[in-house]
């Protein structure tokens, strides 16, 4: 990884967006020796149930901790995709859950579809760990963190008793069939 | 509450510092109609096991999401207090767990001591909810959020199955005996 990478994770309340952001940031910083910030902003729109987490990863110190133009957008709901797709920079990566989202045209970005929630439900019987499946996809597709660093962060940060299913979800995502959609 | 308020919560890994920050920010924004940001920064020092969350609350939109000079510092370990006390602005509030911390001289700030972990352990049998006791103390002493808003945020955000004990911990903290120490 070279230079500053801005990542936005967005979805609905209850999808574990914030925990995904925390684990991604800890993986990068605590387990991979980089600097990271992780943040949420809440305003009037927060009352609608949308949820958004931002992570910045850099080899250097991070002066400005807010995402302006994401290199990577992970969108777990249609609303999140529609709202944040325009911010993604040219050449950026957009990852969506193919069963929850109908992707619009996405010129100048890489659009990656994966069966995120379906894998969590069918392979693990727990749709709630779709957030960890999504992080596995993100690591594989974007290369911003290693699977090993994510595993360490999950083992230390996942709620007690849920470590094992979350680790399995990560692996599932990392090895998931993904489809790159071109315009 | 008037204007921007900067809050730093700091302690050791495993004390629930980040969850406390998330709940405080959601209480302010989602349940009390204010704007809030919540963030963590991780760098080389993260590897030592210290944990720090920052929350900014404002009636206006928040342009700069990083804490510079906290109005409120909640310090749950001696290391956190020693490290962050110098940043607290004049007239600010410093809240400490009286059984874990020996407070140094604290000129020009209000120093508040409360038996945070002891209440969690003795009244609820769960030291792990000391973070919610601490939030109750913070709400009462600082007035930055209402107990009602905190209750709503805890009910929606605490890990499933732990809502009741976390709500009781909040109440305990809100009504805890506190001691204001003057130089």
Q: With an 8 Å Cβ cutoff, is A85 touching chain B?
A: no
Retrieve residue A111's tokens.
Answer: 């659009």
**Is the model's pLDDT at B137 over the cut of 70?**
yes
B13, B36, B41 member nearest A42 (Cβ): B36
**Whole-angstrom distance, CA of residue B5 vs CA of residue B36:** 10
Q: Is the separation of the CB atoms in B82 and B76 below 8 Å? A: no
Find chain A residues with C-beta within 8 A of B16's C-beta: none
Q: How confident is the model at residue A66 (pLDDT cuts 50, 70, 90)?
A: confident
Q: Residue B178's pLDDT is what?
A: 96
pLDDT the model gives residue B115: 97
Secondary structure of residue B73 in the 3-state scheme: strand
pLDDT, tens only, B60-69: 989 888 899 9
**pLDDT at position B44, please?**
66
Asked if the Cβ–Cβ distance from A62 to B39 is below 8 Å, we say: no
For chain A, what is the mean pLDDT? 92
The answer to whether the CB of A178 falls within 8 A of the CB of A113 is yes
Model confidence at A1, pLDDT cuts 50, 70, 90, reads low
Q: What is the pLDDT of residue A159?
A: 81
pLDDT value of residue B63: 84
pLDDT classification of B1: cutoffs 50, 70, 90: low
pLDDT per residue over A69-105, tens digit each? Answer: 999 999 999 999 999 999 999 999 999 999 999 988 8
- Over residues B45-65, the pLDDT tens digits come to 676 678 899 999 999 989 888
Mean per-residue pLDDT, B153-178: 93
A151-171 pLDDT, tens per residue? Answer: 999 998 888 789 999 999 999
Contact A47/B at CB under 8 A: yes
Q: Chain B closest CA to A39's CA: distance in Å?
A: 4
Phi-psi region of A143 (alpha: psi -120 to 50; beta: other; left: phi over 0): left
Q: Which domains does chain B have, with CATH numbers?
A: 5-114+143-162 (3.40.920.10)
Alpha-carbon distance of B121 to B178, in angstroms, equals: 17
CA atoms within 13 A on the CB side of B35: 13
Mean of pLDDT over chain B: 92
Residues of A in contact with B46 (CB under 8 A): 26, 29-30
Residues B74-129 pLDDT 10s: 999 999 999 999 999 999 999 999 999 998 888 899 999 999 999 999 999 999 99
B157-174 burial: b if 16+ Cβ within 10 Å, else e: bbeeebeebbbbbbbbbb
Give the per-residue pLDDT at A140: 97
Residues in B closer than 8 angstroms to A26, CB to CB, are 42, 46
**A17 in contact with chain B, both atoms CB, cutoff 8 A:** no
Tell me the three-class secondary structure of chain A, residue by residue: CCCCEEEEEEEECCCCHHHHHHHHHHHHHHCCCCEEEEEEEECHHHHHCEEEEEEEEECCCCCCCCCCCCCEEEECCHHHHHHHHHHCCCCCEEEEECCCCCCCCCCCCEEEEECHHHHHHHHHCCHHHHHHHHHHHHHHHHCCCCHHHHHHHHHHHCCCCCHHHHHHHHHHHHCCCCEEECC
Which helix (DSSP H) or strand (DSSP E) does residue B36 occupy? strand B35-42
Q: Mutate which of B40, B48, B50, B68 to test chain A, going by most A C-beta atoms within 10 A?
A: B40
Model pLDDT, residue A157:
84
**pLDDT average, residue stretch A130-141:** 98
């Amino acid at each position: 990884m070279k230079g500053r990478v801005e990542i936005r994770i967005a979805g609905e309340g209850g999808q574990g967006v914030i925990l995904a952001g925390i684990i991604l940031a800890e993986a990068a910083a605590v387990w991979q020796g980089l600097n990271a910030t992780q943040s949420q902003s809440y305003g009037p729109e927060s009352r609608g149930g949308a949820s958004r987490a931002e992570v910045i990863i850099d080899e250097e110190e991070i002066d400005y901790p807010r995402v302006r133009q994401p290199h990577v957008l992970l969108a777990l709901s249609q609303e999140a995709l529609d709202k944040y797709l325009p911010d993604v920079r040219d050449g950026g990566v957009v990852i969506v859950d193919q069963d929850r989202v109908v992707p619009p045209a996405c010129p100048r970005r890489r659009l990656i579809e994966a069966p995120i929630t379906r894998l969590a439900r069918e392979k693990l019987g727990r749709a709630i760990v779709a957030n960890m499946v999504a992080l596995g996809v993100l690591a594989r597709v974007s290369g911003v963190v290693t699977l090993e660093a994510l595993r360490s962060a999950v083992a230390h940060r996942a709620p007690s008793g849920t470590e094992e299913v979350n680790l399995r979800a990560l692996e599932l995502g990392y090895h998931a069939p993904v489809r790159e959609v071109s315009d």
